[in-house]
Structure 1
């Protein structure tokens, strides 16, 4: 069919519009698909990242490390605190230090006298110890002294009734009467001889009798003095009364008699010792004999309590014992407070040498921590237990060979207070 020009023009316009629409649709479709494709990976990546983040946070090593970091830090902090306590760190304020009475010193160089130690034992001073015996047989009528009592010289210890004493006093009384008669006879014969009334022979006989009476009286008096009894009994009923008295000031350390008991003349009824001085006896091996000299000052330390004293060597044995092959030495030790009791084991320190040491502390500053020795050193906010190794010591000062430097401030007096605080902190941490 033939078309006119208008129809051709209309068809061309329609075809052109359709082409443009189709091209728009194709472009729109391509644009939408490309955006989705590009968005999908991004969205997927986001979801993957989120999932990965959650997974890593909950289960991955990185997430675990991240999550555990604070907990691990707390744990490490907790262990660190416990480790500091275990190593001996004690926090104390200035007020607490003053309240505890801690004495601080500075470690530094000093001269130390080397000591050689010997085991010893406190004994009675035998020069001031009396084994009291009655020196006359009798029966106990009274006991005045008790065990452990302090007595003065001449104080009454006991009273005995003794027939032997009665005989001796009777002998003295008879001798005194004969002496009175002899003196009277001598005076009479002397006057008669001077007046030429009697012969010289009678005068000489009277003089001889007087001298014999004096000797007899003196003899009877000396017998009573030898047993510690007085010649003047007071009355006839007291002729057998014997008073046993203390020979010097001291302490009754032994008592071996009771009321009504018959005792022999040589019975050891009391032991009295003057405990104001005691002996510290120790034994010396032959190789050490040249180190101990009479008159040398030594230091005595107790193994039972924190007691220390100084004394001088008063005796060094010149013979070795047949069984022990050692010599005995003795220190006379003042004992004003009666702290050194006989039977107490001690250590006797004898000065052997003297030398300078680079780092020295007071011996009371050392404290034991298990098998090691420590010194509490001042640090900011408190004290730290510092393990040390020791060298020479003279009982008062100790050389530090390792663990402490000169100039370090340490606790000298009452260092046991810090040790106690350290022990309490360790107990609380263990719970």
Structure 2
């Protein structure tokens, strides 16, 4: 055998040895297993892979808490809830007109000083500006008749101020009006004293209130009637001028087991909830649904109180299961 042939034989032998090592690398018990290029050996857990079905035959998949959190999924515990038949409404926040005053000059004249601007707090009888009277040519103080917040200013330094136009508007914002629009077909369903859940859409959750006033006439341009809720506003969370949504509660019913509406998915023609089990496993648990509202769905069978389930963005788990099925088919 010449030198070239010898080199080729050595290369082929090395390649055959490497191939054999790939498929015959022994495990810790001495059993040959495939474990090459970083692929997990059989039995190793990998996020996203299917686990064995449980005793009920339900599909299961392994997904870590970290991966679910990164995808925006969150958990909650199944348990009792109060379902409500509600009416969705739109509204706007307004300053309480019963605790609002227009501060108007007593005599016309030139504005010599301005001490307050929009957003400033004032106390009762606190000076806000000084005006030089046209009649006496002496200056007098323009004072606030109540404590509150300056929400408007209509004068500028050096200009002519008239008793015909307010110089400032001051409002006590510790209470706020929520003016809700009621469509004509729903007017008969709304009564003074009805419970309303106001959502300011600021991440702080709903605020509970009650209908305090129903307008006796409707609005010509929108063909709606006005219903008003008066809310306390000690922390200035509610700001006049902003839109809100609301749910007027028409009826309530308590149920023993319920889940968030976003938890319900359909998988292989079954209605399921993804329930957390041990070892990062999620089970696609078939459930029987009952009544529901905009937030919760009653579970009549398939889920027990206290079990943890994927409450929000559960479609992420459904997509992972779909990918796992596709890989399994191939």
Scaled by the length of structure 1, the TM-score of the pair is 0.51
Give, in angstroms, the shift of residue 392 of structure 1: 2.9
Indicate the SS of the match to 1:265.
coil
In structure 2, what is the Cα distance between the partners aligned to 1:246 and 1:133?
10
| Residue pair 2:122, 2:150 contacting (<8 A) in 1 also | yes
**TM-aligned CA distance change 1:262 to 1:75, over 3 Å:** farther
Task: Please say if 1:343 is aligned against 2:241.
Answer: yes
| Residue pair 1:136, 1:265 contacting (<8 A) in 2 also | yes
Equivalent residue number for residue 47 of structure 2 = 81
Indicate the SS of the match to 2:292.
strand
**TM-aligned CA distance change 1:107 to 1:151, over 3 Å:** same
Greater gyration radius: 1
| Residue pair 1:131, 1:270 contacting (<8 A) in 2 also | yes
**TM-aligned CA distance change 1:130 to 1:88, over 3 Å:** farther
| Residue pair 2:184, 2:224 contacting (<8 A) in 1 also | yes
Indicate the SS of the match to 1:288.
helix
In structure 2, what is the Cα distance between the partners aligned to 1:88 and 1:135?
76
| Residue pair 1:109, 1:356 contacting (<8 A) in 2 also | yes
Task: Please say if 1:292 is aligned against 2:182.
Answer: no
Q: Deviations over 1:9-53 (max 9, x none)?
A: xxxxxxxxxxxxxxxxxxxxxxxxxxxxxxxxxxxxxxxxxxxxx
**TM-aligned CA distance change 1:161 to 1:411, over 3 Å:** farther
In structure 2, what is the Cα distance between the partners aligned to 1:132 and 1:390?
58
Indicate the SS of the match to 1:290.
helix
Q: Deviations over 1:58-90 (max 9, x none)?
A: 9xxxxxxxxxx9479959878963346996722
Give, in angstroms, the shift of residue 339 of structure 1: 0.7
| Residue pair 1:280, 1:333 contacting (<8 A) in 2 also | yes
Task: Please say if 1:137 is aligned against 2:37.
Answer: no
Task: Please say if 1:332 is aligned against 2:303.
Answer: no
Tell me which of 60, 64, 80 is aligned to 1:90: 64
In structure 2, what is the Cα distance between the partners aligned to 1:124 and 1:88?
53
Q: Which has the higher strand share?
A: 2
Tell me which of 137, 143, 146 is aligned to 1:248: 146
Give, in angstroms, the shift of residue 403 of structure 1: 9.4
- Listed as ranges, the matches of 1:153-232 within 5 Å are 153-164=124-135, 166=136
Give, in angstroms, the shift of residue 148 of structure 1: 0.9
Give, in angstroms, the shift of residue 126 of structure 1: 1.3
- Report the count of equivalent residues: 264
In structure 1, what is the Cα distance between the partners aligned to 2:111 and 2:207?
42
| Structure 2 alignment gaps of length 5 or more | 1-15, 21-32, 52-59, 67-73, 266-271, 321-330
| Structure 1 alignment gaps of length 5 or more | 1-53, 59-68, 93-102, 167-238, 426-431
Task: Please say if 1:392 is aligned against 2:327.
Answer: no
In structure 1, what is the Cα distance between the partners aligned to 2:240 and 2:224?
22
**TM-aligned CA distance change 1:153 to 1:375, over 3 Å:** farther
Q: Which has the higher helix share?
A: 1
CA RMSD of aligned residues (A): 4.4
Give, in angstroms, the shift of residue 312 of structure 1: 2.1
Scaled by the length of structure 2, the TM-score of the pair is 0.65
In structure 2, what is the Cα distance between the partners aligned to 1:133 and 1:279?
24
| Residue pair 2:277, 2:283 contacting (<8 A) in 1 also | no
Equivalent residue number for residue 125 of structure 1 = 96
In structure 1, what is the Cα distance between the partners aligned to 2:162 and 2:247?
45
Q: Deviations over 1:335-378 (max 9, x none)?
A: 111011112221111111122434224x6x95799xxxx97744
Give, in angstroms, the shift of residue 321 of structure 1: 1.7
- Listed as ranges, the matches of 1:232-271 within 5 Å are 240-271=138-169
Q: Deviations over 1:239-271 (max 9, x none)?
A: 732211111111111222222111111222211
- Listed as ranges, the matches of 1:316-395 within 5 Å are 316-361=214-259, 377-382=275-280, 384=282, 392-393=292-293
**TM-aligned CA distance change 1:326 to 1:82, over 3 Å:** same
**TM-aligned CA distance change 1:317 to 1:359, over 3 Å:** same
**TM-aligned CA distance change 1:154 to 1:163, over 3 Å:** same
